[in-house]
Structure 1
Amino acid sequence: MKKRALFSVSDKSNVVDFAKGLDRLGYELVSTGGTLKKLQEAGLPAIPVSDVTRFEEILDGRVKTLHPNIHGGLLAKRDDAGHRQQLEEREIDPIDIVVVNLYPFKQTIDQPGVTEAEAIENIDIGGPTMLRAAAKNFRDVTVVVDPDDYQPVLDKLEQESLQEENRKRLAAKVFRHTANYDAMIAGYFSDITGDITPETYTITYEKVQSLRYGENPHQQAAFYKQPNVKGASIANAEQLHGKELSYNNIQDANAALEMVLEYEEPAAVAVKHMNPCGIGIGNTVAAAFQKAYQADPVSIFGGIVALNREVDAATAEQLKAIFLEIVIAPSFSEKAMELLTGKKNIRLLKIPMEDAGTTRQKVVSVIGGLLVQDVDEGRVTEQALTVATKRKPTEQEMKDLLFAWKAVKHVKSNAIVIANQDQTLGVGAGQMNRVGAAKIALEQAGDQTKGAVMASDAFFPMPDTVEAAAKAGISAIIQPGGSKRDEDSIKACDEHGIAMVFTGMRHFKH
């Protein structure tokens, strides 16, 4: 019985060379549409799929391979006498190799201004059906979905060493591929119908790289990205210099990026272990970094720095002077690159800072499940604040309060931030009680607390935090409010002449 290979590919990379190899090995080549044309133009004796189905394609190509002569040839078990008899009775030839990749749905929906009709027409039906049929019958059928597999498969066929285990691995890749494809389609329809938390949550990610290890050397890890991620994302980073990113590098870099995106002014953020150790804003990015550095010159050592403006020579000189793991920016000047690439191990990441403009979701794994929520994009303006105390904040205090509020949002709860003059002074992160976080932040700020402001990510359950702030000389506080004992904290602020404003919004970060 003659051997038969079926080709139907959207990505035509190297398909002619693969087909030539199969032709040399005696395979009859069957193909569809544009793939058929490409093979025939290369001088290959490929026949149209309609010769096999004895049925011309219809509905503008929507139906061409959905036919028993195709799927009977794919799904028949060669060691089943009943299956073989049915093929013979219906004059159906088995198909031994399937070479298929799918309509470019991902590339289509990624285009600006794509219409719903265009997206729908790029949902492949026949391709996934053939792939799944062939993969199901991997014991008898070799299915190739990835052009990178063409040469390895051809080599094994030429050596007569393509084993069932090889076909099983190719089948596994097929099912991952079709699952990825269907997940993108499901995600597209969930988006256009507004189903943010559907009854089943189907997401897909594509591998960027294997990592040397995870949080610790005994943990295996890899980095994946969403297929159509846009805008400011670590997944869109272009690494300009330095060694490969680690798991912890990526975590910290993502935290730094999220923080620096809060600020419209030139801003610099220094991060250690996913918490800010220093944030500064200024008229220039160099001035902003100087403030971020001075906020905590000890903790920044070995940290990650994110900037929301191009790194110029003046900023690069400062960055070069200390040990940093990563510098993130939308761009680097030629002189800055010259200065920074002199340090062998520093990683330089170029990341677009514009927002993707789409609703983002945060996904966290728990044992046996996932938690899904919207990303915390909540922000407040001065007009949205409620002054709870007798004294109102001054203009400078209000500016510092809003600056500190943006910072405390990104600190692990319980969180307290002390700030003054566009600069963080102390950060209390991840404590089991709020006054403990306040004491850490105030101690770090040291003798700079007089006249500074305090931000808290959640309300004060009792006035002890206000008392600690007053003792340190804090002049104004911003916090969500909403405690049953708000009046106790308000009273304490009034007694010490502290201005306090409520945001009506909390920023727990676990």
Structure 2
Amino acid sequence: MSHPVPLKRALISVSDKTGLVDFARKLDARGIEILSTGGSAKSLREGGLTVVDVADVTGFPEMMDGRVKTLHPAVHGGLLALRDNAEHLAAMQAHGIGPIDLLVVDLYPFEETVAKGASHDDCIENIDIGGPAMIRAAAKNHGFVTVIADVRDYDALLAELDANDDRTTLEFRQRQAQIAYARTAAYDAAVSTWLAGAIGEDTPRRRAFAGTLAQPLRYGENPHQKAAFYVTGENRPGVATAKQWQGKELSYNNINDTDAALELVAEFDPAQGPACAIVKHANPCGVARGDSVLEAYRRAFDCDRTSAFGGIVALNRTLDGATAEEITRIFTEVVIAPDADDDARRIFAAKKNLRLLTTGGLPDPQAPGLAFRQVAGGFLVQDRDNGHVGRSDLKVVSDRRPDDAELADMLFAWTVAKHVKSNAIVYAKDMATVGIGAGQMSRVDSTRIGRRKSEDMAEALGLAQPPTMGAVVASDAFFPFADGIEALAEAGARAVIQPGGSMRDDEVIAAANRLGLAMVLTGQRHFRH
């Protein structure tokens, strides 16, 4: 099986007609007979090619609206027969089955049909049956048969034929077989996932995820780890769909951090004003709103100037030249925004290592979706955290009621806390973070770290006192003891937003009242691990 195999007869049936006629002409020029079906046969004939209808090979017409056309021994025998097996050859001869050396088949556009919101019946009709069956048959018999399941591999096949006197090597056929099986697996995963959703099955017995390679990466989180970036085809603006205007290739950590930054800044509706998020190691080090994109960036940067160095900047509006000029004052890894104007792109062009990505839009923070992560022996699946609270959802539990400005800052801080690793504490004032404590085992430690960040900020900006004085605080989960509230009061906080739900809520609320803090409960938490 290791010797090169000549291609004498091909079966072509594709939904995507991109490059089809030109590709088929090059096969025809090599003397390869072409079998085809339906729309593919029509396109090839219109291109001036001679084509044999599969119906003439099987002796049966296409029927049942095209559902039945290739499911026949004349097709599958030609794909599956072992050319070095005497019994197989005898069976082919006895039943008039000709070998098929090359299968070129993609699949009905099921994923695209679902993505455009087609009806249930249309989605069902776009579930391919004959295509996967033929692809799997040809891939199984890759010792003798070449399978092309992706139109992007036309050129690879032609180059292989050029290099091997119109033959394909076993190595090439093995590679194409792997691609083919991965394609049918991804297809089946898409169908099963859609059907689970259609019937309201939240925890199907088997769950499959699939992705398409976007780019191999230099390494993973660390240089000794191999890595690659795969995209799922989800219709959601983000790193996977963004255009990279400049800069070196994104790394594993760049992609992870940039995604975190964009998902955070997307929480702030651009129609309600500019916002900026600066992220480092998947945690925000500064988030702010402003009257302009430039002001939003400056206010976010001032929260933690040290951590912002080498960070990721995400904006909810178009990047302009003035903001780009300001960003280039320090080293920044990536800037991502819905768009960037000509001035901004020109300014960034002088910074060859800075990556600029534009997404054309923002992901919807409240859209449904799934998130998953690996654990030993399995993986966890959950809904994307699209939780949201507004003023009407808040319950004031303290003696002092927060004023309107404090409520606005509370909701701002709460939104940021959703994107901070637990245990999360976010100090905010005037719609900007002024101290963030992230990822600590103790909530009190997160409280103290946020306070220390604020003290560093005061020193850097020459302020008379840390901006936590008079700030509000958001906690991603409840305070288990009153000591966290006491630490916030020591930092100068005046109001707290938290989920509530602790066995000691009464003790925590009493501490807030004793210290003169306003406190509201959301009834919702945002653990982020």
Scaled by the length of structure 2, what TM-score is found? 0.91
Please say if 1:235 is aligned against 2:240.
yes
Moved more, 313-322 or 251-260: 313-322
Equivalent in the alignment of 2:281:
273
CA distance in 2, matches of 1:328, 1:39: 44
1:231 to 1:59, Cα distance in 2 relative to 1, 3 A: same
Residue type matched to 2:472 in 1? V
Q: Please give the per-residue CA displacement for 1:309-329, whole angstroms capped at 9, x wherever unaligned.
A: 112233223212222111111
CA distance in 1, matches of 2:412, 2:349: 33
Equivalent in the alignment of 1:165:
171
Q: Does the aligned pair in 2 maintain the 1:255–1:271 contact within 8 Å?
A: yes
Q: How many correspondences in the alignment? A: 508
CA distance in 1, matches of 2:310, 2:453: 19
Please say if 1:301 is aligned against 2:320.
no
Q: CA deviation at 1:155?
A: 4.6
Question: Map of 1:29-428 to 2, 5 A cutoff?
Answer: 29-111=34-116, 113-157=117-161, 159-160=164-165, 162-227=168-233, 229-264=234-269, 265-351=273-359, 352-353=361-362, 355=364, 358-428=367-437
Q: CA deviation at 1:342?
A: 2.4
Q: CA deviation at 1:303?
A: 0.8
2:518 is matched with which residue: 492, 496, 499? 499
Q: Does the aligned pair in 1 maintain the 2:365–2:386 contact within 8 Å?
A: no
1:385 to 1:73, Cα distance in 2 relative to 1, 3 A: same
Equivalent in the alignment of 1:452:
471
Equivalent in the alignment of 2:463:
none
Q: CA deviation at 1:25?
A: 4.1
Q: Does the aligned pair in 1 maintain the 2:373–2:381 contact within 8 Å?
A: yes
Q: CA deviation at 1:147?
A: 3.1
CA distance in 1, matches of 2:432, 2:128: 54
Q: Secondary structure at the match of 2:305?
A: coil
Equivalent in the alignment of 1:471:
490
Q: Secondary structure at the match of 1:439?
A: helix
Moved more, 293-302 or 36-45: 36-45
Q: Does the aligned pair in 2 maintain the 1:409–1:509 contact within 8 Å?
A: yes
CA RMSD of aligned residues (A): 2.0
Residue type matched to 2:191 in 1? I
CA distance in 1, matches of 2:365, 2:308: 29
Q: CA deviation at 1:129?
A: 1.2
Q: Please give the per-residue CA displacement for 1:463-499, whole angstroms capped at 9, x wherever unaligned.
A: 1111112222211111111111112211211111111
Q: Please give the per-residue CA displacement for 1:351-376, whole angstroms capped at 9, x wherever unaligned.
A: 21152874111111112211111111
1:267 to 1:243, Cα distance in 2 relative to 1, 3 A: same
Identity across the alignment (%): 50
CA distance in 1, matches of 2:149, 2:184: 10
Q: Secondary structure at the match of 2:380?
A: strand
Q: CA deviation at 1:40?
A: 3.0
Q: Does the aligned pair in 2 maintain the 1:393–1:500 contact within 8 Å?
A: yes
Residue type matched to 2:229 in 1? F
Equivalent in the alignment of 2:441:
432
Q: Secondary structure at the match of 1:279?
A: strand
CA distance in 1, matches of 2:32, 2:266: 57
Q: Secondary structure at the match of 1:214?
A: coil
Residue type matched to 1:497 in 2? G
CA distance in 1, matches of 2:242, 2:268: 20
